[in-house]
Chain A
Amino acid sequence: MDGIVIIGAGESGTRAAFALREAGYSGAVTLVGAEPHMPYERPPLSKTPDGMVRMKLICPKEALEVAGITYLKGCSVSKLDPAAATVSLSDGQLLGYEKLLLTTGARPRRLACAGAERALDFRTHADAEAIFSNVAPGRRVAIIGAGLIGMELASVLRAKDVTVDVIEAAPKPLGRAVPARFADKLHARHVAEGVRFHFDRSVAEIGDDAVVLSDGTILPADFVVSAIGVQPEITLAEASGLATGNGILTDACLRTSAPNIFAAGDCAAVAQPGGGHIRYESWRNARTQAETAARNMAGAAETFAAIPWFWSDQYDLGLQVAGQPLPAHQSVRRSAPEGELEFYLDDGRLVAAAGLGIGNGLAKHIKLAEMLIAASICPEPVALADPGVNLKTLLKSARAA
Chain B
Amino acid sequence: MTWVSAGRLEDIEQEGAIRFDHGGRTYAIYRGPDDSVYCTAGLCTHEAIHLADGLVMDFEVECPKHSGAFDYRAGEALRLPACENLKTYPAEVVDGEVRVALG
Contact = CB atoms under 8 A, between A and B. Distances in A.
B12 interface: no
Contacts, number: 34
Interface stretch (A104-112, A153-161, A344-352, A355-363): A355-363
Nearest to B50: A360
Interface in B34-60: 47, 49-50, 53-57
Contacts of B67: 284
A73 interface: no
Interface in A1-46: 15, 18, 44
Contacts of A361: 53
Contact of A363 (B47, B54, B57, B80): B54
A208 B59 CA distance: 58
Contacts of A15: 80
B64 interface: yes
Given A44-B47, A56-B47, A392-B15, A360 B53 contact: yes
Contact of B55 (A311, A359, A364): A364
Contacts of A44: 47
Contacts of A360: 49-50, 53-54, 64-65
Contact of A364 (B47, B64, B66, B81): B64
Nearest to A358: B53
B54 A364 contact: yes
A368 interface: yes
A367 interface: yes
Interface in B1-49: 15, 47, 49
Nearest to B49: A360
Contacts of A283: 66
Given A44-B47, A360-B49, A392 B57 contact: yes
A367 B62 contact: yes
A277 B64 CA distance: 29
B31 to A, nearest CB: 13
A56 B15 CA distance: 32
Contact of A311 (B57, B65, B81): B65
B35 to A, nearest CB: 16
A56 B48 CA distance: 12
B15 A363 contact: no
A243 to B, nearest CB: 31
Contacts of B62: 367
A56 B81 CA distance: 12
Contacts of A311: 65
A46 B50 CA distance: 19
Nearest to B61: A364
Interface string B57-95: 100001011110000000000001100000000000000
A275 B67 CA distance: 30
A361 B65 CA distance: 11
Nearest to A288: B67
A359 B65 CA distance: 10
A361 B51 CA distance: 10
Highest count of chain A CB atoms <10 Å: which of B54, B55, B56: B55
Contacts of A392: 15, 57
Nearest to A367: B55
B58 to A, nearest CB: 11
A364 B15 CA distance: 12
Interface string A140-178: 000000000000000000000000000000000000000
A317 to B, nearest CB: 14
Nearest to A311: B65
Contacts of B50: 359-360
Contact of B65 (A18, A363, A368): A363
Highest count of chain B CB atoms <10 Å: which of A311, A361, A392: A392
A392 B14 CA distance: 11
Contacts of B53: 359-361, 363-364
A375 to B, nearest CB: 14
Given A363-B54, A364-B55, 12 more contacts: A18-B80, A56-B47, A359-B50, A359-B53, A360-B64, A360-B65, A363-B55, A363-B64, A363-B65, A364-B54, A367-B55, A367-B62
Interface of A: 15, 18, 44, 56, 58, 283-284, 311, 359-361, 363-364, 367-368, 392
| 3 A-B pairs with least C-beta separation | A363-B64, A360-B64, A360-B53
Interface of B: 15, 47, 49-50, 53-57, 62, 64-67, 80-81
